[in-house]
Structure 1
Amino acid sequence: MDTALEAALRVRIMEWVRGRADANGGFLHREELLRFRVDGRDLPIIDFSRGIRNPAGFSSTLAIVASANGPYDDTESHDDGLLHYAYRDGDPFGGDNRKLRAAIDTGQPLILFRKEIPNYYTPVMPVYVVDDYPEERTFLIALDEAFRFMGSTRDLSTPQRQYALRLAKQRLHQPAFRTRVILAYETTCAVCTLRHGSLLDAAHIVPDSEHGGVPTTPNGLALCKIHHAAFDQQMLGITPDHRVVIDQDLLNEVDGPMLRHGLQDMHGRQLTLPRRAKDRPDRDLLAWRWEKFEGRTAP
């Protein structure tokens, strides 16, 4: 395939993936990715059984899949903020590894899919293969094309390392956290039960800027955008026993139907919780946040 045509096709594929993920709530189902068609022909975006997708005619890899194996959302990232992706089994210089290695030379962007739970994938894109560590049998994957031009990735400067870690938090940790939380709540706002994935966020109970603000499901709530904003601005609080409380000043306001039905009518409701107990909000974290809500008007 002509290089320009391949590059244009990659752009089209990524636009489709981004659109579907946004509509779903940040993720795609396996079947969507396997059934993708373009220009009247089948072009699966992931492989049926392997963690790497090398379409026929492509000069380099289109997509890689990484499974989340730990309680946090980035188990592949090292302290350099980059992903160390293991060689595929077999010949280290042939097979799937050949096209993944070719991506270093072509500079073509890839899609990284994180498999948070079986059959559900969080897309992170574009990502770039920037180095090859034969002694570790790993490829180095960066979240910004700039790392292709920074020299040796083995000797990143302190600012480069800090930038890579910040990117990992923004483009890897946060989307993965959103996927886990939205799926745990079955694409439903915990406050109002709105079920449109594109209008839902994963809200931290303890913010990630605070100690204890880890990106795990018990520290998350699936909230629609208005209730997420109200939660963050201390207009909406949640007690440790899962009761929704609206700020008294807001309850006293007279405005329009959005205020009345969207916020005031939520006062006293019980949260809709995940089916699995291990995904439900941690009581101690809710107590921490509730204390902040109760003390918001203190001098």
Structure 2
Amino acid sequence: MSIKELDLSKLEETLLGDIGCRQLVVEYVNAIDLDTAATIDTDTETPRSIIETRRRVLREVNLRQGQPQFRNRLILRYGNACQISRCAFPGLVEAAHIAPYATSSENGVHNGLLLRSDLHTLFDLGLLAINPATMTVSLHPEVQGMGYGSLEGAPLFTNGTSGPDRAALAERWEFFNSHLARLEEHVAS
């Protein structure tokens, strides 16, 4: 006989139906920390429970913050501030991959940008891009009116270096422009 840890996510639906057990689930979810979340496989398509959702969110945060070598190399190259907004608050500046790491496995400084966390998200969603020809910021029209308009046309800070890989930026530029084209098609129809 062996002793195995009980995975409450498998019992969550039943536990949530009982008032006394509901508090147990809430306390368990609140107790899941980054280290625990990083060791649990939550690669299901859609989380089936709040426990799985909490694990996934914490694991994603851990993955972003868990790129210390990549981030440190980018800081050595570009300084310790966002390359767009110049925000230098350490907890908000993240190492962003230009060509997604999941598809490229490329962790070199030429495949990275230091971005404030919200700008990183916009970049990943294709709502913000760097024009590879001018090295300036372009924003999707949907986000320009949401407090980001002042960043339109802002130069990418490269700290006197050659900057990031322009070919990778060009691929992202195409991704950004495909979003713009879909918006134009939607507006026209």
Q: Same fold (TM over 0.5)?
A: yes
In terms of fraction of residues, the more strand-rich structure is: 1
State whether residues 126 and 172 of structure 2, in contact with CA within 8 Å, keep that contact through their aligned partners in structure 1.
no
Equivalent residue for 1:293? 176
State whether residues 182 and 201 of structure 1, in contact with CA within 8 Å, keep that contact through their aligned partners in structure 2.
no
State whether residues 200 and 224 of structure 1, in contact with CA within 8 Å, keep that contact through their aligned partners in structure 2.
yes
Counterpart among 242, 267, 270 of residue 155 in structure 2: 270
State whether residues 200 and 222 of structure 1, in contact with CA within 8 Å, keep that contact through their aligned partners in structure 2.
yes
Deviations along 1:267-288, one digit per CA (max 9) or x if unpaired, are 01111113333xx201111001
Consecutive unaligned residues in structure 1, runs of 5 or more: 1-125, 127-143, 145-169, 254-258
**In 2, Cα distance between equivalents of 1:198 and 1:183:** 17
SS at match of 2:153: coil
State whether residues 201 and 223 of structure 1, in contact with CA within 8 Å, keep that contact through their aligned partners in structure 2.
yes
In terms of fraction of residues, the more helix-rich structure is: 2
Equivalent residue for 2:81? 188
Equivalent residue for 1:223? 115
Consecutive unaligned residues in structure 2, runs of 5 or more: 1-34, 40-62
Displacement of 1:175:
2.0
1:283 aligns with 2:176: no
Counterpart among 125, 136, 142 of residue 233 in structure 1: 125
**In 1, Cα distance between equivalents of 2:159 and 2:114:** 10
Displacement of 1:242:
1.1
**In 1, Cα distance between equivalents of 2:119 and 2:131:** 15
Displacement of 1:183:
2.6
Displacement of 1:178:
1.3
SS at match of 1:231: helix
Displacement of 1:182:
2.4
Deviations along 1:169-217, one digit per CA (max 9) or x if unpaired, are x59x82211111123221011101111222100000000112x350000
TM-score by length of 1: 0.37
Equivalent residue for 1:164? none
Fraction of identical pairs, as percent: 32
Displacement of 1:250:
2.4
Deviations along 1:211-262, one digit per CA (max 9) or x if unpaired, are x3500000000011111111112221111031100101222x4xxxxx32xx
State whether residues 82 and 115 of structure 2, in contact with CA within 8 Å, keep that contact through their aligned partners in structure 1.
yes
**In 2, Cα distance between equivalents of 1:215 and 1:242:** 21
State whether residues 83 and 156 of structure 2, in contact with CA within 8 Å, keep that contact through their aligned partners in structure 1.
yes
Aligned counterparts, 1:42-121, within 5 A = none
Q: 1:247 to 1:213 in 2, by over 3 A?
A: farther
Equivalent residue for 1:53? none
State whether residues 205 and 219 of structure 1, in contact with CA within 8 Å, keep that contact through their aligned partners in structure 2.
yes
Supply the AA of the counterpart residue of 2:136.
Answer: R
SS at match of 2:157: coil
Supply the AA of the counterpart residue of 2:157.
Answer: T
